[in-house]
Structure 1
Amino acid sequence: PYVKAVKEMADLILRRLFSALREFRWLFPFLKMAKQQKRLLNVLHSFTDLVIVTRKNQLENESAQQITQKKLEESDIYGKRKLTLLDLLLNVSIDGHPLSNPDIREEVDTFMAAGHDTTTSALSFGAYHIARNPAVQQKL
């Protein structure tokens, strides 16, 4: 459901971008598109929230010994532990206060959207240049 919702949200954003009604922002909440956006955001946020809560619970339930063992197993050649983006965000605190789940979700969603867009752009760029170069096509 998450991947489908990401694709549908990307399509919705494009439809909104090219819609003649986009100039009338006050009208958007009354459109079918607004209901679809709300439903898709609920799917996306629910999934991200579930991942955040699950990982937070895992980190809270790990014993100190397990954490130390993982640090040793996951360290790189310089002895530094590789942390995932989510683990970094869960361990970050600003002025002594940890980030809230909505703050973490916002950052994770930003990276997910950026990764999706970057991958799409890179594949499109590669396909375009292959299509324009028959010699490369012959090699493939």
Structure 2
Amino acid sequence: MRILYFENHVLTLSYDRERKTGYAVWNGFLSSSEFQEATTKCVELMEKEELVNWLADNRKMKAIRQADQQWFLENIVPRLLHSSLQRMATLVSHDIFNKMAVDNIMQRAGTHDHLTMRDFQDEAAATAWLEAPASTAAQESFNA
């Protein structure tokens, strides 16, 4: 059962304690303060609930400013890479500038041995991948 953790006009953040999965549904363009607050809330939830799976629904999210990308790399990525997360599924934004920004952040973040990330267009496929046994998900990620 999903439990609402945080909600405002740009982010709905929830989790399923039993599945150890977090869900972030993004909406629109975020100011720097909104972006920082929202991404910090995401990592706080990951850490507090020791989540292993994450579904980022970026489909309605708009571009991320360069300064916010840099802030994310410096402040959020280290916490993300040291978290309990093992799989992150992203529903890719319809906004090409957001997709480019997210790709840039992930490329600059470097390697992350314990965290497997994969992009999806379909929520059902993303959820199925997150819920698949670890060996199946790793193989699917390798073949993607």
Fold similarity call, TM over 0.5: no
TM-score scaled by structure 2?
Answer: 0.26
Bigger fraction of residues in helix: 1
TM-score scaled by structure 1?
Answer: 0.27
Bigger fraction of residues in strand: 2
* Structure with the greater alpha carbon radius of gyration: 1
